Structure 1
Amino acid sequence: MTGIGRVLVIVYAIMALAATGRSFVQIVQSFDEAPLAYTLSAISAVVYIVATLALVFAGSRGWYLVAWIAIVFELAGVLIVGALSFLLPDLFAHPTVWSWFGLGYLFVPLVLPFFGLWWLITHRPVATGVAPEPATVGA
């Protein structure tokens, strides 16, 4: 992996660390205040960890599929939680990583999955199947 792929993995790793740290602190200190929001922060942390690993190993078809699933889930999460945080602000009085479309993270959670999907589309894994043996001319 080179160039923009490395940058993408680094940004995903930073988001994984940030979301993991945030959710850990939120859950340990005050889970009872906002269990939904803090559970969503923990889910986003898991998604970023899985997406990071999947992008690193996306050269194999299995990890490539995992990367697609993780990044599509991430995009759906940030869009749904982002919209709900505006529509039902009482439900998200305590922010999550994806609240307000990632405002607390400078909208990186909103933009990142689009870059991730673009990278996956433009960097499909190469099939590594065994080439068929040449046909032999009759005996």
Structure 2
Amino acid sequence: MATRSSLATGIGRVLIAVYGILALAATGRSVVQIIEKFSFAPFAYTVSAIAAVVYIVAMIALIVPGRSWYRVACVTIVFEMTGVLVIGTLSLFDRQLFPDDTIWSYYGMGYAFAPLVLPIAGLWWLRKHHRTASAEPVAASTTAPVGE
């Protein structure tokens, strides 16, 4: 059986908590935006919904032990970092594309730049625990003892 992920210990717990908070914030924001005024800024509100999904998946991937979930966490957090940088830059230069803010607008300025700092911290944490995650067994051994 897979052992408890070392990603969910120490600072990893703080990362998981922050991902959970941002997941709730982005989900709430995107649901309200999409229901109430989607036609005003469809691209921006779609980005908010994508960010919500990214935060949820990243949080789950940091909680669940195993190599596969470690890889999911890596891919998700790299996607998140790319999104923050691309959307942050676009929001600076194209107000028509972003008539309303997303969680990643202006590199997360509306959220005290947590969306910019979080993927950096997440990638650092994943890198720090790369060997531990790679060494975890994928599944429980199902072989019977010799002689049976």
Q: 1:99 aligns with which of 101, 105, 125?
A: 105
Higher RCO (CA-CA < 8 Å; seq separation 6+): 2
C-alpha deviation, 1:127, in angstroms: 3.7
Query: What's the counterpart of residue 137 of structure 2?
Result: 128
Q: Which runs of 5+ in 1 are unaligned?
A: 131-139
Residues 9-40 of structure 1, C-alpha deviations (whole Å, 9 max, x = no match): 00000000000000000000000111000000
CA distance, structure 2, for counterparts of residue 83 and residue 39 of structure 1:
17
Return the alpha-carbon distance in structure 2 between the equivalents of residues 112 and 32 of structure 1: 30
Identical-residue share of aligned pairs (%): 57
Q: TM-score, normalised by structure 2?
A: 0.84
Q: Which residue does 2:35 correspond to in 1?
A: 28
The RMSD of aligned alpha carbons is 1.2
Q: Aligned residues, how many?
A: 129
Report the Cα distance in structure 2 between the residues aligned to 1:37 and 1:87, rounded to whole angstroms. Answer: 14
Matched residues in 1 for 2:136 and 2:104: separation? 35
The separation in 1 between residues aligned to 2:137 and 2:49, in whole angstroms, is 36
User: 117, 141, 147: which one pairs with 1:111?
Assistant: 117
Alignment partners' CA distance in 2, 1:89 and 1:123? 40
Matching of residue 48 in structure 1 with residue 48 in structure 2: no
